[in-house]
Amino acid sequence: MLALIGATVACGSNGAEQRKGGDGDRPIPVTTQQVRMQPFSDTLLALGNVKARESITVTAKVSETVQQVHFESGDVVAAGAPLVTLTGRQQQAAFEQAQATANEADQLYQRQNELAGQQLIARSQLDTQRAIRDAARARVAQMRADIGDRVIRAPFAGVLGIRQVSPGALVTPGTAIATLDDTARVYVDFPVPEAMIATLGVGQQVAGTSTAYPGRKFEGQVSTIDARVDESTRSVVVRGDFANPDRALRPGMLLQVRLSRPERQALLVPEISIVQVGTDSFVYRVKPDSSVERVDVKIGARREGLAEVAEGLNVGDRIVVDGTGKLRVGARIVDSAGDKAPAGEVGSASKNSTAKAG
């Protein structure tokens, strides 16, 4: 009986030791990947406001009643097209009077010029008449300009907004008649963080999307970078120039902008390999003896499953990609799938990666 109990205890002890050795030292199956420098062309995301290339509120220069309106709300007009004609009968009468006076002064000057040529009148008398003629001509030009102010014209080609006046209405300087916007091309202004100024340049490609047009992408390029940095937001305003032939983009619209940045070399790792604990980010790096160690990393741009490692890793380091949840520092691992993402695949995917502004 004692022999049987002893054998049972011995078997139990051996089983516990086997379980302890097998489970404790058994390598954990994970997926690993070697860190490489890859071509990385990320983009910058920002929100921008659409602005017309040229934009004004059409107003009158004088106080007068509206005689005729030549447009309807939403019309597309050419530069110089008449928009509103104001009543100007008094100005027309004054113009005709000034024209008659100028004609008479000119005729008298011509006669005196002939007499002066024959030395029948003094040269000073001819000079006086020349001055009278020039003053009369200036008066005609003034009255012509005054009549011109009674016809309000479009200063540039564009699309008109809602009409604000009707025939018979009294307008004064500053009275809004309609808005006029040149939207054949539009500007989109958006902020870029100060830290990224060095990567900005005129001519960079910009793409925009709007909730008003799902699935449609608007193409443009950077035309201007503001000369000043906003001290409160630490950002600089970048202006994109967009073609808008169908006038789909309207001033005041909100556009989500993607700014393509120059291609550069970066250390890229899959996002699933990064362990986030509070504000700390780290990865598990594989040591030569197949055990793992924790390495704190600083993450740069990230998008579509990829993350840029700015600090913490070196070229050639092997990290755990899948299976980090089962690991602890010092644990031994075995690569169950090998390097799933060759250099070419990671580089190809990285060209579409995006970094968010701010």
- The residue type at 219: E
In terms of domains, do 236 and 276 share one?
Answer: no
Residue 354, pLDDT score: 44
Token readout for 235 is: 């950002």
Determine contact, residues 81/154, Cβ cutoff 8 Å: yes
Clarify whether residues 323 and 277 are in a common domain. Answer: yes
- Using the 3D structure, point to which of 239, 260, 281 is the last residue of a domain: 260
**Which has more confidence, 316 or 13?**
316
* Strands 354-356 and 43-59, sheet pairing: parallel
Q: Which residue has the higher pLDDT, 273 or 305?
A: 273
Alpha-carbon dihedral angle through residues 192, 194, 195, 200, given to the nearest 10 degrees: 50
How confident is the model over 70-83, as pLDDT tens digits? 999 999 999 999 99
**Residue 58 lies inside a defined structural domain of this protein:** no
Q: pLDDT at position 95, please? A: 76
pLDDT score for 24: 52
Cα 170 versus chain centre, distance: 41
Shared domain for 188 and 138, answered yes or no, is no
138 in a structural domain: yes
- What is the residue range of 309's domain? 26-40+266-356
Count CB-CB contacts under 10 A for residue 289. Answer: 6
Over range 243-254, report the average pLDDT.
93
pLDDT at 5: 43
On the question of pLDDT at 264 being above 70, the answer is yes
The residue among 219, 234, 260 that closes a domain is 260
Please state, rounded to an integer, the average pLDDT across all residues of the chain: 83
Shared domain for 97 and 115, answered yes or no, is yes
Q: What CATH code is carried by the domain that includes residue 229?
A: 2.40.30.170
Together in a domain, 270 and 316: yes
Residues 251 and 210 in one domain: yes
Q: CB-based burial of residue 339 (10 Å sphere; 0-12 exposed, 13-18 middle, 19+ buried)?
A: middle
Is 292 found in the same domain as 235? no
124: helix, strand or coil:
helix
Residues 348 and 276 in one domain: yes
pTM summary value: 0.60
| Complete edge-to-edge strand list for the sheet that includes strand 82-86 | 151-153, 82-86, 64-69, 170-171
